[in-house]
Structure 1
Amino acid sequence: MTSPAVDTVASPSADAEIALRGTGIVVDYKVRGKKPFRAVHGVDIELRRGETLGLVGESGCGKSTTGKSLIQLPAPTGGEVWLGDTKLTGMSQGQLRGLRRRLQLIFQDPIASLNPRRTAQQIVAEPLSLLGTKDPMGRALEVLAQVGVDEQMAKRKPHELSGGQCQRISIARAIAQEPEVLICDEPVSALDVSVQAQVLNLLEKMKAEYQLSMVFISHDLAVVANISDRVAVMYLGRMCEVAPSTALYRAPRHHYTSLLLNSVPKPGQERERTVVSKDHGSMKYDGTGCPFASRCPAATEVCKTTMPDLTTLGPDHQVACHHPIEA
């Protein structure tokens, strides 16, 4: 099998420490009777210490797969993942178990990710017990109180709680171990809009109190804009654009990013709309050329045959496009 092209996110400034780094990440899924399906095509991603990196794109673009590969659930088919100076890829399950405390994941479905037979307090206390924490049940109550779950609610099981309450428990379970990195896989998509704001505010509060670095995965650009320092945009397993949140939302340089932003309603604000083809043949992307070529209004022949490198076009702003939008 030929080596995949690699999308490279430019390294941060020399004084910015990298909390989590993935290089050349490839993820293949086995398909019975067929060749493996490649969901992620050689992506590089860097999370700087203390920042929130938003990872966005349509459903099926590979963002959740990328996020889970960073925490080795499962390990990527190719590439490397580094947590600080520690290489995670190639480790045994036993070795990874010893590092799980440093790298935690909040799942998309808050109810399904919790043990239905245990109370909220027991759910949060379990990993603390495994870590040898003194009085894990007492510590669990302290952390639950921090996320707005009182002692009475802590005695209830997941089916007795709302989705928002269950997500608070998921956050408590993650931060109780005092991790360095928190990966949030669509943590508010299953919640009502009114509850989403509460959970987002809670994540910001916990990030500050526990000095977390976060990868925030979502298809909702409005949510990502409010919580992220930088944003990385994916399409069909490739990285399209990476930029500071303000710069990306103000002046996107990739045609796919522009399409996504145009799909977000903005009362009283008009943006020149990007016209794209309705051809969804690109969903069968085989790794050749730009994955957005068949739908891009600026595509030429080179776009169909050559994958563009992720090139720096502005301060901390990288774009993978042969014909980027003019600033």
Structure 2
Amino acid sequence: MSTTQAVTTETARDERRTILSARDIVVEYRTAKGAPVRAVRGVDLDLLKGETLGVVGESGCGKSSLGKSLVQLPPPTSGEVLLDGDPLTGLSERRLRPLRRRIQLVFQDPISSLNPRRTALEIVADPLRLMGDRDPRAGALAALEDVGVDERMADRRPHELSGGQCQRISIARAVVQNPEVLICDEPVSALDVSVQAAVLNLLEKMKAEHHLSMIFISHDLAVVKNISDRVAVMYLGKICEIAPATDLYARPLHHYTTLLLDSIPNPGAERKPRRARNEISRKAPTEGCPFASRCPAATELCRTTEPELVEMEPGHLVACHHPVV
């Protein structure tokens, strides 16, 4: 084997390794009366180096809670998160702080996620200053230019900028720290449609230039299909299906996934018959499949025994007793 072939093989092997791993993640919140509400219920997830993993589901399914728990904002109620083999869960804030630079989060609302008292330049320069950079101003200006924010905008505060400009600043603040993983929590849902494509293209550009691995959380299945290598579908705090994007959209195996795909607007297509009840469940059942009350194929087994996530086809996992055929 030539030296070039050996390097290529080693690079391919490196790209396939797991960069972020989550095991049995549980996220609970407390109501005003102190009752626990479980938003994420025992999720296992692996992000491969260099890939984009999409996470989709209805509002309230727990996908944002899962994303924030991976960066320990706040830490999950239970479970383990490993970043390239280094544990993130159970660490003190002092020990966690240097690791935070390696995994960054882009929030859904770009304006409220930025400090209203700081200028765009200060917002991006602050992480560099904390990292001990010798010239944080120069580094921040370069990062702003890289995401398409003109130097004339650098001295403006968030309320003086558009939502798209603020989201570009949020992306610059994240990537200026040279992270390994970028988690995007609905990064374009609060933006005008005309701006969404530009921000998505920017994320793809940042991923390539900074060699990022990315988790992209969204309820927009069309966006997820175009940007993701693999897609995980969540329902009531659980992952019900995960597969390569092309396989999932061409041949979904879970009845909830078919419902989501049927809901994508397609004016030129013939109207499909509804295959599942469209009401949204807000509370997970204490036993059985979470989707059983809406599923057209549900049996008594589905209502009493929760299905495990198993591999039905190469790389295609589904949690269903009676998958779509």
Q: TM-score range by the shorter chain?
A: over 0.9
Shift, 1:308, TM fit? 0.5
Do residues 241 (structure 1) and 241 (structure 2) align? Answer: yes
Which residue number in structure 1 is paired with residue 173 of structure 2? 173
Letter paired with 1:225: K
Shift, 1:92, TM fit? 0.6
Residue pairs, 1:130-279, within 5 angstroms? 130-270=130-270, 272-278=272-278
Mapped to 2, the partners of 1:32 and 1:268 lie a distance apart of 47
SS in 2 for 1:89: coil
Shift, 1:289, TM fit? 1.0
Deviations 1:20-40 (A, max 9, x none): 110000111122435311111
Do residues 41 (structure 1) and 48 (structure 2) align? Answer: no
Tell me if the contact between 1:163 and 1:191 (Cα under 8 Å) persists in the aligned partners.
yes
Letter paired with 1:292: F
Shift, 1:154, TM fit? 1.2
Which residue number in structure 2 is paired with residue 75 of structure 1? 75
SS in 2 for 1:318: strand
SS in 2 for 1:257: helix
Report % sequence identity.
Answer: 66
Deviations 1:288-311 (A, max 9, x none): 111100000000011111110111
Mapped to 1, the partners of 2:318 and 2:192 lie a distance apart of 34
Tell me if the contact between 2:15 and 2:50 (Cα under 8 Å) persists in the aligned partners.
no
Mapped to 1, the partners of 2:20 and 2:314 lie a distance apart of 21
Tell me if the contact between 1:29 and 1:37 (Cα under 8 Å) persists in the aligned partners.
yes
Mapped to 1, the partners of 2:279 and 2:222 lie a distance apart of 26
Shift, 1:274, TM fit? 3.9
Mapped to 1, the partners of 2:25 and 2:142 lie a distance apart of 38
Do residues 290 (structure 1) and 306 (structure 2) align? Answer: no
Mapped to 1, the partners of 2:304 and 2:21 lie a distance apart of 29
Mapped to 2, the partners of 1:115 and 1:290 lie a distance apart of 42
Mapped to 2, the partners of 1:279 and 1:203 lie a distance apart of 34
SS in 2 for 1:264: coil
Shift, 1:268, TM fit? 2.9
Mapped to 2, the partners of 1:191 and 1:279 lie a distance apart of 27
Residue pairs, 1:54-73, within 5 angstroms? 54-73=54-73
Shift, 1:118, TM fit? 1.1
Tell me if the contact between 1:40 and 1:62 (Cα under 8 Å) persists in the aligned partners.
yes
Which residue number in structure 1 is paired with residue 309 of structure 2? 310
Tell me if the contact between 1:41 and 1:287 (Cα under 8 Å) persists in the aligned partners.
no
SS in 2 for 1:214: strand
Mapped to 2, the partners of 1:268 and 1:61 lie a distance apart of 30
Tell me if the contact between 2:81 and 2:87 (Cα under 8 Å) persists in the aligned partners.
yes
SS in 2 for 1:98: helix
Shift, 1:255, TM fit? 0.4
SS in 1 for 2:288: coil
The change in CA–CA distance for 1:200 and 1:17 in structure 2 (over 3 A counts) is same
Tell me if the contact between 1:232 and 1:241 (Cα under 8 Å) persists in the aligned partners.
yes
Letter paired with 1:248: L
Deviations 1:161-212 (A, max 9, x none): 1000000000000000010000000000000111000000000000000000
> What is the aligned residue count?
313
The two structures, once aligned, show a CA RMSD in angstroms of: 1.5
Letter paired with 1:241: E
Which residue number in structure 2 is paired with residue 321 of structure 1? 320
What's the TM-score, normalizing by structure 1? 0.93
Which consecutive residues of structure 1, in runs of 5 or more, have no partner in the other structure? 1-12
The change in CA–CA distance for 1:287 and 1:210 in structure 2 (over 3 A counts) is farther
